[in-house]
Structure formats: structure tokens, C-alpha cells
Amino acid sequence: MQRKAILIYNARILTPDGWMEAGSLLIADGRIQSIQTGEAPADDLTQRIDAKGRYLLPGFIDVHVHGGGGYDVMTGDIDHLIGMCKFHAAHGTTSLLATTLTATHDEIIHALAGAAEAMKLEREPDGALLLGVHLEGPFLNPVRCGAQNPADLRDPSIEEFDAFWNASQGTIKLMTIAPELNEAEAVIRHAVQQGVTVSLGHTDADLETMQRAVAWGATQVTHLFNGMRPLHHREPGAAGSALMLDELATEMICDGIHVHPDLVKWVFRVKPEEKVVLITDCMCAAGCPDGEYVLGKLPVIMKNGKVYLKQDGGGEGSLAGSSLTMLEALANSVTFTGKSVAEIIPALTINPAKQLGIDHLKGSIEAGKDADFILLDDEWKLCQTFVRGVKVFEREGESL
């Protein structure tokens, strides 16, 4: 059913050319029709909404998220996927990739099939849009497994990738793989041919191997500095390679836990600005009370927002994802770097859109693109989230 056109006016709109004061956005059929200063002309059938001077920004695109709000991608349960998308929409995310974990073949197949079915549901947007799947694991190096279950790690194979591809009904958009593993080259080349963006992660690769992987078609690095061979002055490792090779976009978790704040600032300085992609790597416990949870099959503890593997004796194991939201990632990055919101926003919007090849539809406020945006107040707190022109979240007491 065709929806009524919407005119949002009196907004401070962040466009690719900078801020537009007292701007208006005309939306029809889920797309942005026009952007201009002042109140754009509209017919009597158009719904008019006064933004009351709020900031209007493109919605966030999270390409690495395992869950949130108590919901978990690996259940393969459609209700979990919908719940996760609603949770993240309440924190500014308008699109995301359901991210898997290393598990048995059948467990991954089940999760992929569930995501594919969720994507086929025909309904009005009610949360962040599920863009597809990020296949993180099982083709990872045990030496750098982090919170990925080492018992289920294995070498890549085209046969298993194809089984995953078929179960996902072609919805795998991003895959993390360790390029030093046996048959990694064949699988990377094969995935790229299928249109999958390949990210290098949970890897012990050296510079030479990382360079070869770029030649095979890899274009991204998974959660920079975490789960990879660190920088060394005699061998740059995977982390150093990610910084040195401009062909590689770098995911980064800006919670102040996974990466030191000063290092975040340095990455924004040394990487090309279009090659920084902020993610949450969020797991099910985000938005929930501190306590014990499960990541895949591994017991984890969340305490004061920090999530780590539970060890015998009560010690802290490896970090196990995060409880971060994209809105917090934006605020943290502004604080860590001293940059403005406008300078950081591309790392949460247009940069991930480019990595997925959807920047013609998403990632910025431009005519012809999907009407995915958020409205923030003067304190940069979220008021509303819109997905394809539909309001999917509204903070209590903030009705327009």
C-alpha cells in the first residue's frame, strides 16, 4: 500500500556538503524526494512534521552485530532477529548485518536460514533493516580466536562456503576469514565472485599474506587490533598491515575498552577518511543488566558494560564482543578524537554503505536514497529513528 508523503521541516540536516540550517526533507514511497532550505512545497495530502530545530543525520549502518537487548543471532529465531533490530533502532541504527559466530556446521546453517527467512517477511519497518549476514567464522585462526569457540574452528572450503551461501539464500554480504589458512585464497576469490565483501580477521597473518589477500579481493579488516597479530617494528603483522594498506577499510570498536582512546584518534588520522568503519560487535547482553550470559556456547560475564569470557576461578578471559551501541560509538569517537560529529558520521554511515556496495541507496541524506535517518536534540540524544520513511522509534515525550 502506498504511504502518504511526509514533509519534515525546520531541521538542521547533515548533508554530504555539510549542515543545512532550517532544512526540509520531502519523503515519498520510502525515499528522499528533495532536500532544501525552508519549508518545501507540498500538497494537501502530505503529512507535515516540524522537527523543531533538531539535528537530522543519516541512520547508522552496523555491519558487525551479534545481538542486543537479550536477543541473539545464533538462535536462528525470527523473533530474536526482529527484537535485535528493534533494540538497535532505539539507538540510532537503521540497517545492520546479522553476524554469526563460529559453531558447528549445522548450527551456522540454522542461523543463516533463520536470517534469510526474516529478510523475506513483508511488513512495514518496525526496527533497523536487516540487510543480510556477516559470516564471522568458522574460517578463523585458533591462535587468534578470541571469544570464537576454538573447538569449532576449521580450514576454509568452497564446499562449506557454498552450503552456507545456499542456506542464507544468497544473503551473506560480508565474511571474516583468516587469509593464512589452507584454501583461504580459493574461498576468498570464490566469495568475491559471489559479491561478498571479504574482511580479514581473527588472523595471525604477516604483511606479505595480508598483501596477497588484498590481491585476492579482500577489502576490509575485522575489528582492528582485536583478534589479530599485533604491530611489531620488524614485522607489521595484521594490525600494521591494516593501517598501511589503503585498500583495506578497518572496522573499529570505539567503546574505550577494545581500543585505547588515543589509538582511536591515531587511526582516524592515519587511515583515509573513507576507510574507517565503526561497528558495535554487540552481543545479546547489550541493554541488559550485568551478569552471566552465553556467547555461542561459551559462558561470558558482563560487568560495567565490559563483556569477557568467564574463566575458572573467576578471572577475566578474552573480550567477548561488546555492549556498545552505535550512538555511543559516535559520542565516544567525538570525545576520543576531538573531531566534530560531521567528521565522524561517515564512519557510521556512508563508509559501511560503500563497503557493502549500497551507497547508492543508503549512508547519506540525498535525494533518491532511502529515507533512513535519525533526529537528535541539542544534547545529541536520540529523539526519533526513521527507516524508509517510517518512524520505528520515538523517545518517550519526544513526539513530533
392 conformational bin, left if phi > 0, alpha if psi -120 to 50, beta if neither: alpha
Question: Helices 207-216 and 184-193 sit at what angle, rounded to 10 degrees?
Answer: 30
> CA 162 to CA 175: how far, in whole Å?
13
pLDDT at 316: 84
Residues ≥6 apart with Cβ < 8 Å to 379: none
Catalogue the active-site residues. 281
pTM: 0.97
Residues ≥6 apart with Cβ < 8 Å to 127: 82, 84, 85, 86, 87, 88, 89, 387, 392, 393
pLDDT at 4: 81
pLDDT at 44: 67
pLDDT at 343: 98
pLDDT at 397: 74
Provide the β-strand partners of residue 132: 97
Strand order in the sheet with 306-310: 291-295, 298-303, 306-310, 316-319
| Beta carbons of 11 and 23 less than 8 angstroms apart | yes
Go through the domains of the chain in sequence order and give each one's CATH number: 6-57+364-394 (2.30.40.10), 59-356 (3.20.20.140)
Query: Each residue's pLDDT tens digit in the chain (400 positions)?
Result: 567 899 999 999 999 999 999 999 999 999 999 999 977 666 766 889 999 999 999 999 999 999 999 999 999 999 999 999 999 999 999 999 999 999 999 999 999 999 999 999 988 999 999 999 999 999 999 999 999 999 999 999 999 999 999 999 999 999 999 999 999 999 999 999 999 999 999 999 999 999 999 999 999 999 999 999 999 999 999 999 999 999 999 999 999 999 999 999 999 999 999 999 999 999 999 999 999 999 988 999 999 999 999 987 667 889 999 999 999 999 999 999 999 999 999 999 999 999 999 999 999 999 999 999 999 999 999 999 999 999 999 998 777 6
- Cβ of 349: how many Cβ atoms within 10 Å? 29
pLDDT digit string, tens, across residues 93-120? 999 999 999 999 999 999 999 999 999 9
Locus of grid cell 555491519 = 63
